[in-house]
Amino acid sequence: MRTADLFKKKQVLSLEVFPPKRTSSEDTIFNTLEELKWLHPDFISVTYGAGGSANNSKTLEIASFIKTNYAVESVAHLPCINFSKEELLLLLDRLKEQGIENILALRGDISPEHPPCTDFSHADDLIAFIKEHADFNIIGACYPEGHVESKSTLEDIHYLKRKVDAGTDHLITQLFLDNDYFYAFRERTALAGINVPIEAGIMPVVNKKQIERMVSLCGVQLPKKFVKMMERYEHDPIAMRDAGIAYAINQIVDLLAQGVDGIHLYTMNNPYIARKIYEAVFRLLAA
């Protein structure tokens, strides 16, 4: 099923997992998925590291496993920055062979260790290429606070509109910790004529290092109440975890009440946290 069709019926709940970094932990991703399936997600997406990391081959395998074994729709992430057109065509063939219908089409982060290939500069190039050569449902990334490289939120919306016009069927946001950024972003997209469903990406923040990395990587703003929470519980891991879960639940309840199209939960491969959040909100999703 194409993910864009899911939004016609309900507010969607999707989950994101990543392939394990070390081969010795490969088993754990399948244990994680075994637990996540009980949360009845509308789809599960599987990340793919730009820059050719060794665990990338697992993305296809895991996405295919989810669809075949759990009858849950899956999405393969696909960052294009290090691919040539020839390599991309081969990868699209492999995705089709595995029965995958949905691609999260990304540029990927540019890293000095892996100089970009020149065939695709931005996600809109990739999306146009996929639309020309194959039949997939396309998902795109978007940024309520603006992408870190953008000069302004207006410039960001301009390019987002190009990405949608190139053939994006649905969007998923980067994490944000202040819902007001999301609501302002939703207004900007509506004004720009972007009419595809937009899922809110929610990351439960359960330790300080995790959010410090996100701030430096993605430029996410930390609201005062969030900073207070971190200061209060940073030396008590269990309290920090529970506070992070409660914070994410509050964000989700507010978003659902405000009519968000869907929630995309960055699970960080932690089924305990995902389950706690699911248990708190599943009745709201069905309402």
Token reading at 188? 């900007």
Up-side HSE of residue 188: CA atoms within 13 Å toward CB? Answer: 21
Q: Is 196 helix (H, G, I), strand (E, B) or coil?
A: coil
Q: Are 114 and 93 in contact (CB under 8 A)?
A: no
Asked if 245 interacts with ligand FAD (CB under 6 A), we say no
d(CA 283, CA 285) in angstroms, rounded, equals: 5
Asked if 172 interacts with ligand FAD (CB under 6 A), we say yes
Asked if 147 interacts with ligand FAD (CB under 6 A), we say yes
Asked if 161 interacts with ligand FAD (CB under 6 A), we say no
Nearer to ligand FAD by C-beta: 172 or 198?
A: 172
Measured over the CA atoms of residue 221, residue 223, residue 227 and residue 232, the dihedral's sign is negative
Alpha helices in 42-151 (DSSP H): 57-70, 85-97, 123-133
Q: Are 137 and 95 in contact (CB under 8 A)?
A: no
Identify the active-site residue in 16, 73, 145, 199. 16
Residue of the chain from 141, 260, 273, 281 that contacts ligand FAD (CB under 6 A): 141
Q: Are 114 and 147 in contact (CB under 8 A)?
A: no
Asked if 276 interacts with ligand FAD (CB under 6 A), we say no
Neighbours of 173 (CB within 10 A): 21
- CA end-to-end span of the chain: 23
Asked if 122 interacts with ligand FAD (CB under 6 A), we say yes
Asked if 201 interacts with ligand FAD (CB under 6 A), we say yes
Residues between 32 and 91 that touch ligand FAD (CB under 6 A): 47-50, 77, 79
Q: Residue 77 carries which DSSP code?
A: E
Quote the least distance from Cβ 51 to ligand FAD, whole Å. 7
Q: Which stretch binds ligand FAD (CB under 6 A): 156-164, 182-190, 248-256, 279-287?
A: 156-164
**Is 201 buried (19+), middle (13-18) or exposed (0-12) by CB count in 10 A?**
buried
Asked if 114 interacts with ligand FAD (CB under 6 A), we say no
Q: Which stretch binds ligand FAD (CB under 6 A): 86-94, 106-114, 128-136, 235-243?
A: 106-114
Q: Which stretch binds ligand FAD (CB under 6 A): 5-13, 154-162, 183-191, 203-211?
A: 154-162
Asked if 108 interacts with ligand FAD (CB under 6 A), we say yes
Interface residue list for ligand FAD (CB under 6 A): 47-50, 77, 79, 104, 106-109, 122-124, 141, 147, 149-150, 156, 159, 162-163, 172, 174, 201
Residues acting as catalytic residues: 16
